[in-house]
Amino acid sequence: MCGIAGVLGADGNVRPLIEALVHRGPDGIRLESLPGAALAHARLSIIDLEGGWQPLHAAGSTVVGNGEIYNYVELARDFQLGEALATGSDFEPLLHLYAREGERAFQRLRGMYALCLLGADGRTWLARDPFGIKPLYTLELDGGLAFASEPRAFLQAGLVGAELSPDRARELLAFNYTLGEETIFKGVRRLEPGRIAEVVDGRLVERGRRLALRPPSPPPLMGEEKMDSSPASTPCSRTACACTSAPTCPTASSCRAGSTRRRSPP
C-alpha cells in the first residue's frame, strides 16, 4: 500500500496532502513540482527497493501510482522494452507504452492500481483498476484539481471542510459505503473503478471505462434458436436415440441401455 497525491493545473502545496497519507507509505515520501502540476508519493517498498521511487520518469512522461501492475514483466517482454527500462519498477513499462500508443496503454494493465500520469504529449490522466481495489479521490479547485488516496488528505490540508452530504450519510448508514462517485464529504468525489479520465482545464473528462467482468450475453429471442438436425449436433434422448452406433458419444451406452429396456420381448 502506498499513498499518492497531487495538485493539477492550479497553484497548490502538495506537502500537506501527502503528509496526511504517511501511514500508507512508511518508507518515505517524495515530492516534485512540474509545469502545471505538483505530485507526491508516500512509499511502501515492495518491488525494486532502490530504483522504484516515485514520481517516476521515463520516455518523457511521469507517473505516481499506488498498487501493483501484475503483468509488468509480460509487458516488458512482449513489447521488447528490456534495454529501455532504467528500473525494475512495475509502473515503468506503462510510461514506455504510453509513449508508443497513448491512452490505449491503460487498457493493457492488469493489476490493482490507482495512478496519475503526466504524458510527454501534454495530457494528464487519472486511472483506476477495474475492480476498484486501490482508491483515488478528487477535489475540484479554482482552476485546477487535487487528487489523493484518501479524503482525509483534503480535510487535513484545509482544502475542504468536513461538511457532510445528508444523502450520502444515509447511504453510508444503510450500506457501510456510498454509491457512485459522490462521497460523504461534499465536494469530494471518488474516481470510479475502471475509469480512465483526462484532466482538461482542471476537470475530469472520461475517455474510457474498463469493466471488471464482461456482461452476460442476452438470451436469444423466442424463435431465433434453430435446431441443427445434423447427427453430430443432435442431442441424445432415451426415447429417440441417434447415437447407439456412435461409440464416441459420451451417453451412447446409457442410450443403448434405455433402448434395450424399451425393446419388446421376443
Q: How does pLDDT run across 220-246, given as a tens digit for each residue?
A: 887 655 544 444 444 444 433 333 333
Which one from 2, 241, 243, 255 is the annotated catalytic residue?
Answer: 2
Q: Cell numbers 504529449 label which residue?
A: 121
66 within a domain of the structure (yes/no): yes
CATH of the domain at 58: 3.60.20.10
13-28 tens-digit pLDDT: 999 999 999 999 999 9
Confidence of residue 143 (pLDDT cuts 50, 70, 90): confident
Q: Are residues 117 and 181 in the same domain?
A: yes
219 within a domain of the structure (yes/no): no
The residue-averaged pLDDT of 67-76 equals: 96
Report the candidate in 101, 104, 106, 130 with the shortest Cα–Cα distance to residue 116.
106
Q: Are residues 248 and 201 in the same domain?
A: no
81-130 tens-digit pLDDT: 989 999 999 999 999 999 999 999 999 999 999 999 999 999 999 999 99
84 within a domain of the structure (yes/no): yes
Tell me what the pLDDT averaged over the chain comes to: 86
pLDDT for 240 equals 36
DSSP at 71 = T
Q: Are residues 244 and 177 in the same domain?
A: no
Q: Please give the model's pTM, rounded to 2 decimal places.
A: 0.80
224 within a domain of the structure (yes/no): no
144-198 tens-digit pLDDT: 999 999 999 999 999 999 999 999 999 999 999 898 999 999 999 999 999 999 9
pLDDT for 223 equals 65
70 burial type by CB count under 10 A (0-12 exposed, 13-18 middle, 19+ buried):
middle
Q: Are residues 127 and 243 in the same domain?
A: no
Q: Are residues 152 and 264 in the same domain?
A: no
| Continuous H helices in 26-165 | 72-78, 92-101, 152-156
Task: Give the number of domains in the chain.
Answer: 2
Domain range holding 150? 3-209
Sheet of strand 124-128: strand arrangement: 56-58, 61-69, 111-118, 124-128, 195-200, 203-209
218 within a domain of the structure (yes/no): no
16 φ/ψ angles, rounded to the nearest 5 degrees: -60, -30
Our answer to whether residue 249 is catalytic in this structure is no
pLDDT for 233 equals 45
Alpha-carbon gap, residue 90 to 53, rounded angstroms: 11
Q: Are residues 131 and 26 in the same domain?
A: yes
Q: Are residues 125 and 59 in the same domain?
A: yes
